[in-house]
Structure 1
Amino acid sequence: MASKKPAEATSGAPKIDIGIGEKDRKKIAGDLSHFLADSYTLYLKTHNFHWNVTGPMFNTLHTMFMTQYTEEWTALDEIAERIRALGYMAPGSYAEFVQLSSIKEEQAPGALDWREMVRQLVVGNEAVCRTARKVIKTADGAGDDPSVDLATQRLQVHEKNAWMLRSLLE
């Protein structure tokens, strides 16, 4: 006589049981989706400014922007994978990012002065910091240490980036 398969094996993948309830996982994934959208928008803006910076600060900013966008790019995958680990689909289209991001497009047509680029990146990094703090609060309340850790690490990076960029304008 053949043994029966476990009930969950016959109905597909087992339900997620990581010690965080579905309602909390959904809220955390939602906050992380906003965080991902802000992070992606900042990445794109930083990369754009790397390509298009001009003026006396060209070498310094071209290199600084490349360092920042490279680090930001790597972090995007970590955020998206955390959303997936919680059982939800990560946003991944420009339309979703525009809808979810708190960072709005400021760039006027034509070339921007390097000071305006730096100012916009300060504002963008600070927006990511605020979104990270929301993730930390929600995730901490649900006992989601991995999401707290991820957002805390990102918060530290973006606070430092905002400080370094702001210092160029003082």
Structure 2
Amino acid sequence: MKAAIGINDTDRQTVATELAKVLADETVLYIKTKNAHWNIEGVDFYEKHRFFEAQFGQLDEIIDRIAERIRSIGHYAPATLKSYLDLTHLTENTRDKNDSQGFIKELLADHESLIIILREHIKDFANNCHDFGTSDFITGIMETHEKMAWFLRSHLNH
């Protein structure tokens, strides 16, 4: 049944398409954070192992909320690894060392990249698509990424 929520079909499709890309980015970032959690090495192993665990827990919650938002506006959420890899703007990097500084720098860059994309969507969803609910929703997701980025940044050697 069609979602009759006061947003026209074209705008709902535009929002769902952009949210699918964000969902893909979040999922790739989740996997990259899991990789850091599983493969971290060094004298700070246990501390960073736990730190990355907390971060991927937050990402798991974000992923679920975005998929549910896509469904709430009347569309289906992508749910295959192939679709995520096709939709994401993030890259899967390989590394020679599994040290905390390398993982943190890479994850921080991804969070900051997502923050910029989310910030652009806030205005676009509200002003162009007349979807203030999703605009507000994305604002909350962006704020979570800002805090996660701050925590990552705080672990870097200056």
The TM-score, its normalising length taken from structure 2, stands at: 0.91
Q: Of 50, 53, 58, which residue of structure 2 is paired with 1:63? A: 50
Counting aligned pairs with the same residue, the percent is: 35
* SS of residue paired to 2:42: coil
> Offset at 1:111?
4.3
Amino acid at match of 2:39: N
| Residue 152 of structure 2 is aligned to residue 165 of structure 1 | yes
Match of 1:6 in 2: none
Q: Of 136, 146, 167, which residue of structure 1 is paired with 2:133? A: 146
Match of 2:106 in 1: 120
Q: Is the 8 A contact 2:11 2:130 kept in 1?
A: no
Amino acid at match of 2:19: L
> Offset at 1:137?
2.3
Q: Of 24, 44, 53, which residue of structure 1 is paired with 2:11? A: 24
> Offset at 1:98?
0.7
* Structure 1 residues without counterparts, runs of 5 or longer: 1-12
Q: How many residues align?
A: 156
Alignment map for 1:24-103 (pairs within 5 Å)? 24-103=11-90
State which drifts further: 160-169 or 117-126: 160-169
RMSD: 1.4
Misfit runs of 4+, over 3 Å:
none
Amino acid at match of 1:41: V
> Offset at 1:26?
0.7
| Residue 120 of structure 2 is aligned to residue 134 of structure 1 | yes
> For 1:61-108, what per-residue CA distance to the aligned partner results, in whole angstroms no more than 9, with x for missing partners?
111111110111011111011111222211111111111111111123
* Structure 2 residues without counterparts, runs of 5 or longer: none
* SS of residue paired to 2:130: coil
Amino acid at match of 2:84: F
| Aligned equivalents of 1:112, 1:53: Cα separation in 2 | 5
The TM-score, its normalising length taken from structure 1, stands at: 0.85
Q: Is the 8 A contact 1:34 1:131 kept in 2?
A: no
